[in-house]
Structure 1
Amino acid sequence: MAVAPLPTAPAPVAPGTASAAPVLSLRGIVKCFPGVRALDGVSLDVRPGEVHVLLGENGAGKSTLINVIAGTFAADAGDYLIDGMPAGALTPQRARALGICPVFQEFSLAPNLTVEDNLFLGREPRRLGFLDRRAMRAEARRIIADLGFDLDPARTVATLSRAHQQMAEIAKALLAEPRVLILDEPTASLTESETEKLFGLIERLRAEGVAIIYVSHRMPEIRRLGDRITVLRDGRHVRTLPMAGVTEEALVELMTGRKVEVLFPHIQHRPGEAALELRGLTTADRSVQGADFVARRGEITGIAGLVGCGKSELVRAAYGLCPLEGGEVRLFGETFRHPSPARALRQGLCYFPSDRVAEGLALERPIRENASMAALDEAAIARGGVLRRAGERGLIQRTVERLALRPAHIERPVGALSGGNRQKVVLARGLVRDTQVFLFDEPTVGIDVGAKADLYAVLKELAEGGAAIVLVSSELPEVLHLSNRVYVMHRSRMIAELSGADLTEQAILSCFFAETGDGRTGREGVAS
């Protein structure tokens, strides 16, 4: 197939105005995968100087659409126009040459290379036939400083936190001077101050006439940034409308096709015996110091705190993923010596990691294997060391149907699922065993309102059924509405336990913003 020439840009127009001609137009885009029609006649216009929000439940087609825009997937039907001219056969490289720069939720960085190398990968500057390291270094430092990110260009990507990897992805996209910038859940791993820097950058790019496609499930972000919003449902275009004046309730109804009166269910907490106790717990890396904590049967116990406060490390240590320096872990009144994931599972304790891709799932393997991998010693799945395929299939099928996983085809690779459905597969792993203590670490990161409602319904069922649930979350409304008691961590220490009338947003925030020993306040990473 002949490759169309790069379109010539039209005369400049006032960015962000209704009269501005679209820089990118999609008409009737169709994309099919085996057994799935992911996009069914989707149309979209994006104008220069606007933030166009793409909204929909997980599985609605957002990821497929931005992959079509970025040239990763070829559309099966429909028209793709840049400045009103056909874009021709697109590849990721050609899309970047057209000024279309995506920042995907799943990073595309080479882990063994430095940040600097990743920024210039495939477009390395040369001088006299040799790699111009000096120019690369200077330009990398310039773009990172311009963004205001705390990022060392000489660091190897594999040694970076997820937040710093997110910064590297954003810097990489902006180095190409995009005309269309795609941001897919860009704040999922950023602290509050880093998020504010990103928002300032978005405002600046909008003023410069860059068209921005913004994908997020966070309503405050959408309201703050969006000019227009396009809602997808089940692979179809539902509606495009101005952000001004639209209510959250209307957006949820457009996304789900149903009215959602209350997102958070009412949970009948009936606290019983102590299921998990931590006494003076200190990790070897000192990310947790002297923590005391109790989770009881029949209730959800929340853990709140700023990014880096130690809340995630606390539950990882209880599960045996972080070495201990001191303290004690007790399960159902008995000392749990030398915690390890295998022993924890046998004792009825299951942990659900915040990073589903890196730690939770084998993306190339089917749903069935991912859901059953922690239960291969269960009689329903194996007997005498031999896997019982029929028993495994039956158990996993019943479990994913209970979780409303869509579609519930258990032989489908997990990598083909949306974020919300991936989280349900991780959750299924704990439900196929006799699990009595559930440790959830940021369970709703990157999932939509419909998938959140499904997850909350499962948490309600488990708590009211007598399980002990520990909920680590950076989303204050989530912690406040679901938890019976909330512990607050600050700078590696447990500083408060709140319940009843004392459990308020103001009380939690007062702990977040309390002065530390060095006179600073902790304002990093608040999600409200």
Structure 2
Amino acid sequence: MIHALVNDGRYAQSDAASLATESATLFRVEGLSKRFGAVQALNNMSFSLRRGEVHVLFGENGAGKSTLINMIAGALQPDRGEMWLDAQPLTLRDVQDARRHGIAAMFQEFSLAPTLSVEENILLGAEPRWGIFIDLAERRQRVRAALSRFGFDLDLDIAVSRLSRAQQQMVEMAKALLTEPKLLILDEPTASLSEKETEALFELVDNLRQQGVSIIYITHRIKEIYRISDRITVMRDGQFIETVETAAVNEEQLVQLMTGRKFEAFYPEIANKPGARLLSLEGISSSDGSIHDIDLQVHAGEVVGLAGLVGCGKSEIGRAVFGLLPIGAGQVQVGGKPSMRPCPRSMLDRGLVYITSDRRNEGLMLLRPTRENITLPALHLGGLSRAGHWLRMGSERRTAKELGERMRVRPLALDGHVGRYSGGNQQKVLIAKALSRDTRVIIFDEPTVGIDVSARVEVYACIKALAEAGNAIVVISSDLPEVLNLSHRLYVVRDGRIVDHMEKAEINESRALHGFFGTQRPAHLESSHD
């Protein structure tokens, strides 16, 4: 009799705990699997999301995060497995069906109509109507009220194609939030935002959490994870690894869970043995006024960093050097030879290459094979063609294979479309492409944007190897720890001008930040390089 009572009590406690857990859980998946041809993208994945929490999905590129969130958002259907929302079984036919159930997503690749206005995009497909006609006055009022509530300052009538990427991101987020979701998916939402815009986003996320909205958040920036999340689910090779409370795990443990390997230092020690001056800018100003009176030098064997806030003009310096941004005054010298009007072809011929920050729109042909992407800049050279017209297919394939293996593109599919790769592998292909010609000066613009920790380590190892082989390296980055740790010398850019220059021994975060914001540094930190 006593034994029966004890068991009854246990069952009652277990049932109560189960009910409490069920009540706290908004959404869960069990055993989700998805295969694309020979690739098992997701395998028996399970995951749960509490009400009003920010839950980070963390893993290397190719871990299955994108496949999972595409299923949750209705863009993909699973091969196997189940989903529940509010303790009810959930089957989604498409993205619109997901939105009707209160699930909205803002993906890293935007779903905007570039020729339509901000106003038209935000309510596209959900326009208020007066009979068969769109109620234009009501639409404008709703959009204006939404942008005001979210703190987004945008011109309603401008075409989306004319907006910066950060502004397009605001449009995409407003579009998602107007559905008043229960569950919001944010995929790398700060990738193109300034520090101020990022903080505004975090405040918005905090407000949504307080209102009971559950958020699935994907980022490779570990600092963001600790700033914004309640829990973290780690994925690897399409599978669930572990869910942890953010406050209970440190950075080293998190990276070990993600990679399955012992934590390695992010930033390598790069030997500092500067040689001849290979790149010199003298009084460079752009025709559009985005940069002014830029003077800088880069020597063989050194890494020179350009740091500053998003939109400060640092990327424009790299683009002007390569001929993507017209120069209004000054000159560029490569290897001591001046150029008043640089263009990409002439810069490549001189041994200078610029690796864009926008790999998908500017750097790669996503629907073309890996082989073609890697060898494109060198096709007209003697090693790959006869008389610049007839392609040597065997040589092209060998070159692409060598460079792909050098950059550790995994798995290396020479005839597979580049668009099928993860972001980290796409970045490696982009760098391999830049190395397909003999280069002496290499400009990396945001070299690790949108890639995971392991891919970052490999990109940094590449930068180290190139510098120590005698190349002149420029690293343009909005990731301050990255540019501080990699640079032998550092230039700080603000409002299109160089406002500070630091030698290796002088480089520190405090001084860089004073340069970013134009604040006064203490007198004992002043140096002759200002």
- The TM-score, its normalising length taken from structure 1, stands at 0.93
How large is the Cα RMSD of the aligned pairs? Answer: 1.3
Which of 322, 326, 330 is the matching residue for 1:327? 330
Confirm or deny that 1:105 pairs with 2:108: yes
Aligned counterparts of 1:96 and 1:297: Cα–Cα separation in 2: 54
Q: Which residue identity does 2:241 align to in structure 1?
A: V
2:316 is the counterpart of 1:313:
yes
Q: CA deviation at 1:89?
A: 4.3
Matched residues in 1 for 2:154 and 2:43: separation? 41
Q: Is the Cα–Cα contact under 8 Å of residues 92 and 98 in structure 2 kept in the other structure?
A: no
Query: How many angstroms apart in 2 are the aligned matches of 1:158 and 1:89?
Result: 31
2:263 to 257, 260, 263: 260
Provide Cα deviations, 1:47-100, integer angstroms capped at 9, x if missing partner: 210111000011111111111111111111111222222222421111111111
Q: Distance in 2 between matches of 1:514 and 1:18?
A: 50
1:425 to 411, 426, 429: 429
Match for residue 367 of structure 1 among 370, 381, 389:
370
Partner of 1:75: 78
Q: Give the 3-state SS of the residue equivalent to 1:374 in structure 2.
A: helix
Q: Could you say which residue in structure 1 is the equivalent of 2:123?
A: 120
Q: Deviations over 1:105-150 (max 9, x none)?
A: 0111000001111111111110132111111111111111111112
* Equivalent position of 2:299 in the other structure: 296
Q: Counterpart in 2 of 1:508?
A: 512
Residue 68 of structure 1 aligns with an amino acid whose one-letter code is: M
What amino acid sits opposite 1:424 in the alignment?
A: K
AA at the equivalent of 1:422 = Q
SS of aligned partner of 2:200: helix
Corresponding letter in the other structure for 1:260: F
| Deviations, residues 10-55 of structure 1 (Å, cap 9, x unaligned) | xxxxxxx966442221111111112211111111111210111000
2:330, 2:340 within 8 Å by CA — same for their partners in 1? no
- Residue pair 1:363, 1:413 contacting (<8 A) in 2 also: yes
1:53 counterpart (47, 56, 62): 56
> What is the SS of the residue equivalent to 2:378?
coil
- The residue correspondences of 1:438-453 to structure 2 (distance < 5 A) are 438-453=442-457
Query: What count of residue pairs does the alignment treat as equivalent?
Result: 500
155, 160, 169: which is aligned to 1:157? 160
Post-superposition Cα deviations, 1:301-350, rounded to whole Å, max 9, x if no partner, equal 00011222211111100000011111010010111242111111111111
1:227 aligns to what?
230
Alignment of 1:1-150 (within 5 A): 20-150=23-153
Instruction: State, as a whole percentage, how many aligned pairs show the same letter.
Output: 49
Which one is further off, 17-26 or 406-415? 17-26
CA distance in 2, matches of 1:57, 1:381: 34
What is the DSSP-based 3-state SS (H/G/I as helix, E as strand, rest coil) of the residue aligned with 1:357?
Answer: helix
Higher normalized helix content (fraction of residues): 2
Aligned 8 A contact 1:21 1:83 in 2? no
| CA distance in 2 between partners of 1:503 and 1:383 (Å) | 49
SS at match of 1:37: strand
Q: Which residue of 1 aligns with 2:182?
A: 179
Instruction: Give the gaps of 5 or more residues in structure 1.
Output: 1-16, 517-528
Partners of 1:147 and 1:197 within 8 A in 2: no
1:373 alignment partner, SS class: helix
Aligned to 2:465: 461
Q: Choose the corresponding residue for 2:494, options 490, 496, 500.
A: 490
1:97 and 1:379 mapped to 2: Cα distance? 58
Q: 1:3 is matched with which residue?
A: none
- Secondary structure at the residue paired with 2:93? coil
Q: Does 1:351 align with 2:379?
A: no
2:203 aligned residue (176, 195, 200): 200
Work out whether residues 195 and 309 of structure 2, in 8 Å CA contact, stay in contact via their aligned partners in 1.
no
Listed as ranges, the gaps of 5+ residues in structure 2 are 1-19, 521-530
Letter in 1 for 2:56: V
Q: Distance in 1 between matches of 2:250 and 2:21?
A: 21
1:389-414 deviation digits (Å, cap 9, x = unpaired) = 11111111111111111111111111
For residue 491 of structure 1, report the CA deviation from its aligned partner: 1.1
CA deviation profile, 1:169-216 (whole Å, cap 9, x unmatched):
110000000111000010111111211111111111111111100000
User: Does the 8 Å CA contact 2:187/2:219 hold for their aligned counterparts?
Assistant: yes
Question: Which residue is equivalent to 1:434?
Answer: 438
Q: 2:406 matched to which residue of 1?
A: 402
Which shows bigger deviation, 435-444 or 334-343?
Answer: 334-343
Letter in 1 for 2:363: G
Aligned-partner SS, 1:495: strand
Instruction: Answer with 17-26 or 261-270: which moved more.
Output: 17-26
Residue in 2 that maps onto 1:251 = 254
Of 406, 413, 416, 1:412 maps to 416
Q: Which whole-Å CA distance do the structure 2 matches of 1:363 and 1:214 have between them? A: 26
Residue 217 (structure 2) aligned to one of 214, 219, 244: 214
